[in-house]
Amino acid sequence: MLDITLLGCGGTMPLPGRWLTSLVVRYRGRNILIDAGEGTQIAMKQAGLSAHDIDLILITHFHGDHVMGLPGMLMSMGTSGRTEPVTIVGPKGLLEIVPKLCVVAGIPFEVMGHELSGRKEEFDVPGFSELHVHAFRVSHSVETWGYSLVLDRAGKFNADAAKALNIPLKYWNRLQKGEEIDSEDGHFTPDMVMGPPRKGLKVTYTTDSRPCDSIREAAVNADLFVCEGMYGDEEKQYAAALKKHMTFSEAAHIAAEAHPKQMWLTHYSPSEQDPEYWMEQTRNIFPETYPGFDGKSGTLKFDAD
């Protein structure tokens, strides 16, 4: 189960009543934050989420509207009593930029920075071997990355097989967790009692970018695809292209090919006053499109069984 909260839905600058775009993915009581523009720490409080519980911060790129809230966020995490290290992942330049941004922050815990390289990277979320980050390069005016969070789901436990094989009950839980057992009772492996891995969960997040193949590939069959859309009005397509962003329709065309279960739009231009207005035309391209708003949240659950 993944709890998703879109903290803000704006781009360029924070506005009264519209926070800058960032996403919290909550798993087993821990928070993963994607992007932190100015005000994100306030949006997080408004959403009832605790900055204290952020273990991993993923940065898409180093434009102000995506990182200027980082020092304040880290400072407030410190004020809240956090002492455990935090990992920050982002584009090349991170190891130089983050310390500068945080020049007056006074952070009482270790910040571990990791700069992405190449076109793709995959790594586990700290503390969870079943939850992975797939980072993928997208197409913006500066080096920018999108992120999928991918939660594995083990196969079904076959209690009948465990009984038939006389595997003592005390080992069942460890086998379910993928552990191999070498004991006086015998040698037991997970494949003896576990069915094939089941479909897990995937949330794919991308902003800022032009439409590109890496996004289409990342969003394939995602349970949730959070995608930027600067403008609803297709007549602003040229402006969107010029600024290396996309329109709602362009986002919907990506979704129509990638088939996520649903798409949330976000990162609206300050000039985009009423995203809902454009939903009819956008849903003609991809029916399961929803306009993001500050605090929009949802829970992604495993399929029944």
For residue 17, the minimal CB distance to its own copies (Å) is 9
Binding residues among 106-125 for its own copies as defined by CB under 8 A: 106
Among 4, 6, 25, 105, binds its own copies (CB under 8 A): 105
- Binding segment toward its own copies, per CB under 8 A, in 40-48, 172-180, 233-241, 247-255: 40-48
Among 3, 30, 52, 63, binds its own copies (CB under 8 A): 63
Residues in the chain: 305
90 touching its own copies, by CB under 8 A: no
For residue 172, the minimal CB distance to its own copies (Å) is 46
Among 69, 90, 91, 291, binds its own copies (CB under 8 A): 69
38 touching its own copies, by CB under 8 A: yes
For residue 89, the minimal CB distance to its own copies (Å) is 17
Complex with its own copies: residue 36 or 246, whichever CB lies closer: 36
User: What is the number of other CB atoms lying within 10 angstroms of the CB of residue 275?
Assistant: 20
14 touching its own copies, by CB under 8 A: yes
81 touching its own copies, by CB under 8 A: no
Complex with its own copies: residue 14 or 292, whichever CB lies closer: 14
User: What is the number of other CB atoms lying within 10 angstroms of the CB of residue 86?
Assistant: 21
- Binding segment toward its own copies, per CB under 8 A, in 59-67, 166-174, 245-253, 261-269: 59-67
For residue 93, the minimal CB distance to its own copies (Å) is 9
Residues binding its own copies (CB under 8 A): 12-16, 38-39, 41-42, 45-46, 62-64, 67-69, 71-72, 75-76, 79, 97, 100-101, 103-106
Write out the catalytic residue numbers. 65
